[in-house]
Structures are given as C-alpha cells and as structure tokens.
Amino acid sequence: MLSTLFTIAAVHLIALMSPGPDCFIVMQTAVGRSRKEALCCVLGITLGVAFWAALSLLGLQWLFEQFAWLQQLIMFLGGLYLGWLAFLLLRSACNKQTASQQNGPTPRSGFRSFAIGLLTNLSNAKALIYFSSVFSLFITADMETSEAVLIYAVVVLESFFWFS
C-alpha cells in the first residue's frame, strides 16, 4: 500500500509540474490580479481535481469504456471553454484603452476567481486524460476504502500545495 501511495504521489507531482491551463490561469491571476484572487483560483482548481479524483476512484474509466462518446463530448466542451478563455485573454491584451490599466486591474470577487479556476480545471483535457487513464491505472477493484481515501487525500492536498 505504501509503495502504491508513493508511486501515485510521484506520478501526480510530475503531472502537476507539466504546464497546462491550470498553471497558466493561476499565474495570470497572481500576476494580473492579487494573491487573494490567485488563492481563490487555486481553491477552484483543487475542487476540480477533487471531482476528477473522486470520479476516477468511483469508476470513471469504466464509464468511458461504456460510453466512449461521453469523453469526446467533455473534451470538446472543455476545448470550447479554453478557446473562449484564450479569446478573452487576447482581447484584453489588444485592448488599447490604457485608462483602466493605469489604475490597475479592476477587482473581481473571490468567487469569480474560484469559479474561473474550477471551470478551467473541469474543462482541462489534460486533467480528463490524466484521471481517466494514468491515474486510473493505480485504482483496483479490490482496493480497500481506507487506501482509496488516503490516495484521494494525497492527490487533492498535493494539488492544492503545488498550485499555491
């Protein structure tokens, strides 16, 4: 059990280290907004990771084997959302109205940053592929509940601390 836990922790850390939409949205929020908003964004991402990890532990791979179109639909919708975020980012970069930029960014609520982090993670194709394939390799049918809970806690906490 301990070797499985360390293996999952190491594999998950490597997955976290590879840059993706979650990493970029946290960096953008931290640099362009505030530390508070970035931490709210991290909480949203962590909730998304908790969702994917729970689904994976409950049989996400089996679900995608039974309904292959579901994975494609989720990836398509996620791609649309990430494309929308990219459009908003480009639009704000090309916006020549410097009056609002001279006063700093307009504050947005912590809830909005949280929601952006959550939606970014839930629409992240990298997270979907990781949890439905790589992560699910370590999940077995005979796994004890205590081991599953420990794996879940490690993955969620590791994600929170990495993005923080």
Q: pLDDT means per 10 residues in the chain (164 residues)?
A: 85 88 89 90 95 82 69 74 74 61 63 92 83 76 82 93 94
pLDDT of the residue at 107: 62
Do the beta carbons of residue 127 and residue 23 sit within 8 Å? no
pLDDT of the residue at 105: 58
Counting Cβ atoms within 10 Å, is residue 120 exposed (0-12), middle (13-18) or buried (19+)? buried
CA-CA distance, 96 to 99, in Å (whole number)?
A: 9
Do the beta carbons of residue 160 and residue 42 sit within 8 Å? yes
Instruction: Write out the two tokens for 64.
Output: 């995608």
pLDDT of the residue at 123: 84
Task: Indicate whether this model's pTM tops 0.85.
Answer: no
**142 secondary structure, DSSP code:** T
CA-CA distance, 120 to 14, in Å (whole number)?
A: 19
